[in-house]
Amino acid sequence: MTNDTHNTEVSWSIYVDGASNKEGSGAGILLKEGDKVVAEQSLQFRFNASNNQAEYEALLAGLKLALQLHIPRITAYCDSSLVVHQIRGEFQVKDPLLEKYWLITKDLISKFKEFDIIHVNREQNTRADVLSKLATTRQAENTSALSQLTLDKPSFEQETILSITQVPDWRTPFFDYINTGTIPKGEPNLPLFRRRASFYTVLGNTLYRREHSQPLLKCISIEEAEEVMAETHEGVCGNHIGGRALATKILRTGYYWPTIKRDCITKVKACDNCQKHATLSETPAEELHTIEVSIPTLRTELYNQPNNQQARSAELDLVEEDRDISAIKQRARKRYLEQRHHKRVVHRSFADGDLVLRRTEDARKPPAHGKLAANWEGPFRVLQNLGKGAYKLETLRGEQLPGTWNISSLREYQS
């Protein structure tokens, strides 16, 4: 036998009010757990603020106090009709200054599991009104139940990041996948995308790539890459550095973008001092593999382990782009061969009633004829064109032949 128990969660509420007059500006906050007063705050502003600005500051201070106490659900009571309707989305925020406050407030509200704001008359918000006016006439004494604070500058000038607007580029799919798990729409190869995304990480609001030669490489946009290539190549152009060497130098500097190797090669080819020393192009197999030499040579005898490790790490950093370039070349080569083959193909088709010859298969050749057996037999009449090179045939007497026949086994009958 057990007693029935009902676990009722205590309701938290907060009363806020802002005041602005010729003596100064301030805010009052009253935090209650059920009917019990938990905290009172009187906040004085050391900057000029309008009444609406003071109301927003009061609401922000109350929300921050509730978050510090880890309150998951709360109801705010405010006597400013403008602030309440703007937070609810019923009024449009037209003032640029209040829009900044609105953005900060909505960000704090999103951190609560449940939030509601209710408009009350000033008579129902007397204690918060008294606290806000107390801040404008700060007294020297301070009671244990009341905390009196000072705000030196508006909340929108605090050193916090409100929102970040990023122009969509090659980094956006990885940003979205790492932060929210969202896979780009129309992605043809999901396992490949997930594997590539595993090389990236987000620190703060910057995308980095894990590499072999460097702990983390900062991912930059294509516009930033142009500037990096220009600054890096400007100092080494006199040494006729190649495209691979330029890409390696940029990687060692700590930058990355997906087409770094190809862009660096293009950059070097566009330089008249460097164009004479451009390296020969490599085949896809040479780009993906390194030659292992087993016979000792002068090069192997002068082998330098640290330099080799550094060069090898740089090659591993570029291997992903090498794979992409090789795949593109492979697809282009395949398409070229298809087009070349299609040019030699003579397209044929027969209409119903046309006379054709049928190729004689080895099983139907008379054994007694030997090598002199005819390769074609007929003629036959086309009974029906089934499409895609398939035909139904019949004899000249009108007897239908069993099965279907492909156009590769038929040719035109010429009497």
pLDDT at site 284: 44
pLDDT at 341 over 90: no
pLDDT at 367 over 80: no
pLDDT at 74 over 70: yes
pLDDT at site 299: 43
pLDDT at 379 over 60: yes
Least confident of 108-117, 148-157, 222-231, 352-361: 148-157
- Start-to-end CA distance of the chain, whole Å, equals 106
Q: Where do the domains of the chain lie, and which CATH numbers do they carry?
A: 12-157 (3.30.420.10), 172-280 (1.10.340.70), 355-412 (2.30.30.140)
Separation CA 105–CA 111 (nearest Å): 10
Q: Give the tens place of pLDDT for each residue, 29-72.
A: 888 888 888 888 888 888 788 888 888 988 998 899 899 888 99
| Among candidate residues 15, 32, 13, the one with its CA nearest the CA of residue 125 | 15
pLDDT at site 191: 87
Model confidence at 234, pLDDT cuts 50, 70, 90, reads low
